[in-house]
Amino acid sequence: MNLTFAQIALAALPFLPLAGFAVNGLWGRRFKETTIGIVGCGSILLSFLLSVFLFMANLSGSFATVQVRLFDWIPVANGSIGFSLMADPLSLIMLLVITGVGLLIHLYSVGYMHGDAGFARFFAYLNLFIFFMLLLVLADNFLLLFAGWEGVGLCSFLLIGFWFTNESYNAAAKKAFVMNRIGDLGFLLGMFLIVFTYGSLNFDQVFTAAATAGGANNATIIAITLLLFWGACGKSAQIPLYTWLPDAMAGPTPVSALIHAATMVTAGIYLVARCHVLFSLAPFTLSVVLAVGVATALLAATIALFQTDIKKVLAYSTVSQLGYMFAALGTGAYVAGLFHVVTHAFFKALLFLGAGAVIHALHHEQDLRNMGGLRTELPFVYRIFLVGTLAISGIPVFSGFFSKDEILMNVFQHHTVAWGLLFIGALLTTFYMFRLLALAFWGEKRGHHANYVPMNTTMKLPLAVLAFLSFAGGFAGLPEFTGLNWLHHYLSPVFSDVTLHNEPHLSIGVELGLMAFTVLAIAGVIWFYASRFKHLQTRELNQLNGELPWYKKLPANKYYVDEWYNRLLVQPINRLSDFLYRVADTLIIDGLVNRIGGMVLSAGNRARKLQSGDIGIYLYVMLAGASGLFLLYVLLGS
């Protein structure tokens, strides 16, 4: 087997973090923190360098896609499912994001987790996560992708419950796990259906088969895509499976930044984008995706307005932004969705890490009501946070502007009502982000001490880099009309077959007008909040939950979704289980088993008398039996 260097690099990529995991996981307890950090970050750095190499090679045109088949994994009737990796522009973009942001967050964690008892465990988990994530994006078939998918779910579970002595954190981890399992069920069923329909799980084969079969909107493909989307909803926290993500904030902040903002939750987007051939064949599913995306974006944004936990705000913000991405996918604008994935990875990681810096500095204080006035105290973090806020709000030149604008533009083209809702969502985004900024950094100090934990360079450096990326990342996808949309150009080979949109593009004038309108509205929101923030803050801080009017109380309590879930799903199941336990299990099954057992027991009690323990008699009987058998043979056999 002659491997090109690119293939070797590809094969090595995911296994470097795995090696890091093995080393830290097995011997981490004996290592010093420095060693653990070097092992953890070093393995990611190496895979980042390999990713960059692959990316450059791809850019320079030395290959379009690169594939390597490591070994036959599961032999099946026709051919076998290979443990094979594949990198195309889509994977490469994800690869860069995962390893790049992952590297920064690893670096940050060295400072953030300093002194924690589970330092080695933390880095081992993080490395394992990166391994599975790389497996996910590099898989060239559904099964391997599913392996990575489950793996990241596992790591997410482990890391949410990282401080496993806290019972509620464990509950959060369990919740995330169960929610993900519900989503996985859809994915799994989708896979079964794919195998059943196309007889393969290999991406190429499936897509080719689907494309040649044609027949848009037939029931099978709608079922497949809906099931896959169901899986994506679970992983990417969309309605109705979004409730685990805010709870997942129980994990350490770098985890929230890496897994629950930048990478894992975008796996759903990746899945849909990867299967765009299928989705493009099912416009009905796409409209479902759009609807779910818009609804999630708006709903999460309203909830985010009323959260008091700094990480919860960011968590709902993430859910909301993921909704944007799905909305983009729902209109068939896969590139726009992915663009937002990238920029979101930058600024949301930045925001989370910034929040982490605040939490770190304030001795693990997460409640916004106990912050305030940190602008002068933590100027570096403030600046960082400001960049992130501006980026997510969509202020021009910052990265969020370009990506969100592209989404809005595409949605406008497709569905005006959806655009209107997303526009409102964008305004809400701006509002809650500035509320967050104001509560944390502006105004006066509230209830915290002045002895801040200092930040070291390993924490500052990633923040600076991410801030730069949040600022400049948008230039990768300048608006369409400029003709400089590099990302679009780069990803075009992957999405070359997207034929859904053959409507004419909006004219430059309309586009610019919309852009200006959005920007103006956002600026208006900012001006409104900035000028009146003191009043708004005092009112909010003095208002207790019970005093809120209903329209505020509802989002403040997350629309009681968890409670409804509890009442509608969990409790009935509990009651059913209880009933089944008491009647079916105890009376019928146990009764039967016990009765049979009792019979055997009494029979055994009687038969036991035969066993005297005298081996001679046993043997004699055995011998007699053997003799009898042979005698029988002699008499009958001849």
**Distance in Å, CB of 617 to another protein, minimum:** 10
**CB nearer to another protein: pick between 504 and 616:** 616
**CB nearer to another protein: pick between 30 and 608:** 608
Using CB under 8 A as the binding rule, the residues of this chain from 347 to 386 that contact another protein are: none
Q: Which phi and psi angles does 202 have, rounded to 5°?
A: -70, 135
Burial tier of 542 (Cβ tally within 10 Å: 0-12, 13-18, 19+) = exposed
* Binding span for another protein by CB under 8 A among 161-169, 244-252, 303-311, 629-637: 629-637
Task: Kindly state whether residue 196 participates in binding another protein, applying the rule CB under 8 A.
Answer: no
Strand 66-75 vs strand 80-87: parallel, antiparallel, or unpaired?
Answer: antiparallel
Q: How many residues bind another protein (CB under 8 A)?
A: 18
**Distance in Å, CB of 627 to another protein, minimum:** 5
**Distance in Å, CB of 632 to another protein, minimum:** 9
Task: Kindly state whether residue 627 participates in binding another protein, applying the rule CB under 8 A.
Answer: yes
**CB nearer to another protein: pick between 584 and 607:** 607
**CB nearer to another protein: pick between 573 and 619:** 619
Using CB under 8 A as the binding rule, the residues of this chain from 566 to 625 that contact another protein are: 611-616, 619-620, 623-624
**Distance in Å, CB of 611 to another protein, minimum:** 5
Q: Do 89 and 58 touch, CB atoms closer than 8 A? A: yes
**CB nearer to another protein: pick between 569 and 621:** 621
**Cα(182)–Cα(176) distance, integer angstroms:** 10
Q: Please state whether the peptide bond connecting residue 240 to the residue before it is cis, i.e. omega within 30 degrees of 0.
A: yes
**Cα(255)–Cα(159) distance, integer angstroms:** 7
**Cα(293)–Cα(236) distance, integer angstroms:** 11
Q: Which phi and psi angles does 213 have, rounded to 5°?
A: -65, -35
> 530 in helix, strand or coil?
helix
Q: Which two tokens stand for residue 515?
A: 């852009």
- Within 8 A by CB and 6+ apart from 561, the residues are 243
**Distance in Å, CB of 72 to another protein, minimum:** 21
**CB nearer to another protein: pick between 75 and 637:** 637
**Distance in Å, CB of 76 to another protein, minimum:** 24
**CB nearer to another protein: pick between 594 and 612:** 612
**CB nearer to another protein: pick between 1 and 636:** 636
**CB nearer to another protein: pick between 75 and 616:** 616
* Binding span for another protein by CB under 8 A among 273-281, 414-422, 557-565, 628-636: 628-636
**Distance in Å, CB of 619 to another protein, minimum:** 6
**CB nearer to another protein: pick between 217 and 612:** 612
Q: Do 244 and 237 touch, CB atoms closer than 8 A? A: yes
> 548 in helix, strand or coil?
coil
Q: How many angstroms separate the Cα of 238 from the Cα of each of 184, 189, 230, 345?
A: 14, 19, 9, 17
Task: Kindly state whether residue 564 participates in binding another protein, applying the rule CB under 8 A.
Answer: no
Encode 239-307 in three state secondary structure: CCCCCHHHHHHHCCHHHHHHHHHHCHHHHHHHHHHHCHHHHHCCHHHHHHHHHHHHHHHHHHHHHHCCC
Using CB under 8 A as the binding rule, the residues of this chain from 384 to 443 that contact another protein are: none
Q: Which phi and psi angles does 24 have, rounded to 5°?
A: -70, -35
**Distance in Å, CB of 613 to another protein, minimum:** 3
For the residues of 13-55, what is the DSSP string, one character each?
A: HHHHHHHHHHHHHHHGGGS-HHHHHHHHHHHHHHHHHHHHHHH
**Distance in Å, CB of 624 to another protein, minimum:** 7
**Distance in Å, CB of 112 to another protein, minimum:** 46
Contacting positions for another protein (CB under 8 A): 611-616, 619-620, 623-624, 626-627, 630-631, 633-634, 637-638
